[in-house]
Amino acid sequence: MLTVEGLHSYYGKAHILNGLSFGIARGEVVALLGRNGAGKSTTMKSVMQLVRPREGTVRFQDHDLVGQPAFRVAKYGIGYVPEDRRIFTDLTVMENLEVGRQPRRDDAPEWKMDQLFEIFPNLAERRTNRGKHLSGGEQQMLTIARTLMGNPVLLLLDEPSEGIAPVIVEQMARTIMTLKAQGLTVMISEQNLHFARAVADRAIIIESGEKKFDGSFAELEAHPEIRDAYLSV
């Protein structure tokens, strides 16, 4: 579904992604792992074309994404949940969800507001509350729900467990498993190995913008030296 080849991305003169390559198949949940600053968020922004790669290719289904505006990438069916959430704080929960609405796609599950309220009962209870009155975890849920209102084929989740309470982390894990059961393809960037192992089929480890490992969690557990070299604090 998604193929990234030889990706080089920069912030100014800072070389962040250094020839990164990987692929994601339909229906997979893939965890992009690495320490803070490894290039995980830049990878997602490069897929979305919020950061324009200087070299390499990004193909999503039949589309070449490099050079496309981010809104068109979203229209192709990629939903992006940024680490900093970016909800509309002066809009209610329901109004935030309406902002994200896009038409149904033939190759993706269709999400309606009532379904999302079943998945995120906290949001159902606060449906008329403004975004600024939600907790950090509830804002994270709202960002994911708003993105799902776009009926994406592929969902990119940037650090979904970062900075939220453990009980919400558990709910987030259940949510990702629900999305997978609905047939959605998901890529998450994470530093929390326990969380990633609970939800993902496969791990891709990057360090300094280069891929260091790509395989199952069983394979990663069989090579503790890789985990210690690239994931230990």
pLDDT band at residue 86, thresholds of 50, 70 and 90?
confident
CA distances from 28 to 104, 137, 149, 154 (A): 21, 25, 20, 10
pLDDT at position 96 over 80: yes
Place of tokens 């992604």: 17
* Average pLDDT of span 92-114: 89
Overall pTM surpassing 0.75 (yes/no): yes
pLDDT at position 12 over 70: yes
Among residues of the chain, what percentage have pLDDT more than 70? 100
pLDDT per residue as tens digits for the range 211-225: 999 999 999 999 999
Structure confidence at residue 136 (pLDDT):
86
Structure confidence at residue 162 (pLDDT):
82
Residue 83, Cβ density class (10 Å: 0-12 exposed, 13-18 middle, ≥19 buried): middle
Q: In the chain, what are the domains?
A: 28-38+78-230 (3.40.50.300)
pLDDT per residue as tens digits for the range 22-31: 999 999 999 9
pLDDT at position 16 over 90: yes
Q: Using CA atoms, how far apart are residues 78 and 68, in angstroms rounded to an integer?
A: 13
Structure confidence at residue 233 (pLDDT):
60
Residue 187, Cβ density class (10 Å: 0-12 exposed, 13-18 middle, ≥19 buried): buried
* Average pLDDT of span 181-200: 92
pLDDT at position 46 over 70: yes
Structure confidence at residue 137 (pLDDT):
86
